[in-house]
Each structure stands twice: as structure tokens, then as C-alpha cells.
Amino acid sequence: MTIHDTRDRPLRDLRISVTDRCNFRCVYCMPKELFGSEHAFLPRSEILSFEEITRLARLFADEGVRKLRITGGEPLVRHEIEQLIGMLADIPGIDDITLTTNASLLTPQRAAALRAAGLDRVTVSLDAIDDGVFRRINDVDYPVARVLEGIEAASDAGLGPVKINMVVKRGLNHDQILPMADYFRNSDHILRFIEFMDVGNSNGWRMADVVTAAEIRDTLHQAWPIEPLDPNYTGEVASRYRYADGGGEVGIITSVTEPFCGTCTRARLSAQGELFTCLFAEGGHDFRYLMRQEQASDEAITQRIQSLWSARSDRYSELRTEETAGQRKVEMSFIGG
């Protein structure tokens, strides 16, 4: 069974945040002035257990979800995450399980264990290839070389092709577009540039800071001509391109200037069990309360999923203005992007 929302978009993807904690303090996501030593993260008792996550994922699979993405925070700080991957891999109907990570904890042993548990692929966040720029962005003095080691560990473990996500912000790292492209060209990895988005309210977003998809395409094309590729599937977030000289594939995620709301098939589950039907939502729907306080049956939870998705009309990126960008929204670190 597949349910559709008011714009006839099916529910196909569920992004699951397993923690609100991260060991980086990236300036566009969890800046230190807001997520410093005094910041109160969720206590363990308020975070969904592996059993609760698996139960919800199974019910979502019954409603048409085929792809799960594990996010955070940084998901690899969640203790024994491999156990959860194994539990999710056993759910009938799930075709693809991926994980988004900063790769700081992605050792060869960890990558092999994740693959053995049933993880299919990883996406690695890396916003600069220049070590000094990257250290300034992550704000914990973490070196690029260690992230690159994590990428290779994932690839060696069979968790590829590894996708590399680079958020591009003017004045911060826009000069890294070509160096990043040059580094990952002719590799087995796929670099994806992401327009700087107004997720949450802590990153000081301004339209003037957005390096547009058109600018990114032009920059790449002038260095190495690129040609458009068809999407791998309906609802794919990245516009795909290939280098004309055979140097591989590159992608651009264009949520700000070229919205793709019309094909969005994604729901997001926070670490504490709130369901969000849009990355830019102001609030979520509490499934932890349903399970714990109300001790709801599978049928009751399924009905809630169906009612929420069938009523969904979200299209924030199509409506975005400087004014709406200032509205209160859930933080990216809370639902994992």
C-alpha cells in the first residue's frame, strides 16, 4: 500500500534521527554560541529506543516507505548503532538503508561492521578540501585527512558509491567548489553541492549568502564541461551531471533557487519521536507519546501516519521569502537534514 498527500506525492522515504548530539560544531548547523558546553541535549530516556524506531519503521514500510536514511546529529555517536541497522534491515519492504555522517568515527572496523549489519551506503558531509577552511567550519579543529580516511574506509567496506555533501555558503567556503570537484573527479565517489538553506533559526541565513545552483553549474562548466543526467528515480533531491571528459558524476541540491517540493516523498522522524513532514516545518507530531503514554496499537499508529501524510500540503521552498526564512523552524541538528 502507498499513501499520497494532497499534491499526490507518495510516502517513500523516512529519515530517522537517532541522536541530537554531534562531535562537530559546524558554523551553519550547530554554532558554538548556541550549542556550547552549557547546551542541554536530550537525556537518553527521551530518545527513542532501537525497538521503538524499528516498530515505527516497520509501520511506515507497510505504508509504502522503501528507503531509510539514518541521521543525527552525528548518528555514529549513538551507542551500538550497528544493532539498529541490523534490526531495520530485517523489515520487509525496505530496499535501501543509508547513513549520513561526518565520517570522524568511520574507522575501517566500524565501516565493516555497519556493512555486515545491513547498511547499504553512506553519505559524508565535507564542506572543504582545504584543511584550514574545513577546521574553521567544523570549529573543533578536526582535520580533512581524517574525514578522507573515513570515506575510503566506507568505500573499502562496500558502502559505496560514497556521496559527499558540501554545503556552499558565500564568504565561507565558496572558493572550495573547484578544489572539491578536482579532488573527487575521477574517483568512485559522487560530490554533491548543496545551496545554503534556512533550516532552523541558528545559522543566520540570508539570501545574499546563497551560492546559487546556476553559479555552481557555471563554475564547474568553465573548468570542466558538464552535461545533465536523468534522475535515478522520481523525487531524487540532487540534479545530476556528468563531466564531458568522463571524469564521473557530480550533483547539485537546489532547494533554495530551484525548489523540488513537487516531487518530495520524504518524512522525518526526530530522535525523540516527532514526525516532521517537511525539512522546514515549524513543529512535529509526537509518536513517542502515542507509543509510551497512550500505548497505541499498530493500527492506531498506522491510522495516524495515514492521516498526517494524506493531509500533507507542504511546499516551503516554493514559497520561501526573506520573511518566511525568519519564521521559527525545527533545527537541522534535530532532524538531520
Whole domain around residue 103: which residue ranges? 16-328
Q: Report CA dihedral (49, 54, 57, 59) to the nearest 10 degrees.
A: -110
Burial letters 38-71, b for 16+ CB under 10 A, else e: eeeeeeeeebbebeebbbbbbbbbebbbbbbbbb
Is 7 within a domain?
no
Residue 57 lies in a domain: yes
In a domain, 11, yes or no: no
pLDDT at 201: 65
At residue 198, the pLDDT reads 75
Residue 40 lies in a domain: yes
For residue 246, being part of any structural domain is answered with: yes
Number of domains in the chain: 1
Among the listed residues 61, 46, 130, the one whose alpha carbon sits nearest the alpha carbon of residue 91: 61
Q: Is residue 6 part of a domain?
A: no
Cα→Cα distances 329→37, 269, 324, Å: 23, 15, 10
CATH of residue 304's domain is 3.20.20.70
pTM summary value: 0.93
Cis peptide before 283 (omega within 30 of 0): no
**Closest Cα partner for 269 from 14, 52, 89?**
14
Mean pLDDT by runs of 10 across the 337 residues of the chain is 93 97 91 89 95 98 97 96 98 98 98 98 98 97 98 97 97 97 97 87 80 97 97 88 97 91 94 92 92 96 98 85 62 65
120-to-104, 160, 250 alpha-carbon distances in Å? 19, 8, 20
Residue 335 counted as domain residue: no
Q: Of all helices (H) and strands (E), which one includes residue 6?
A: none
Position 337 in a domain: no
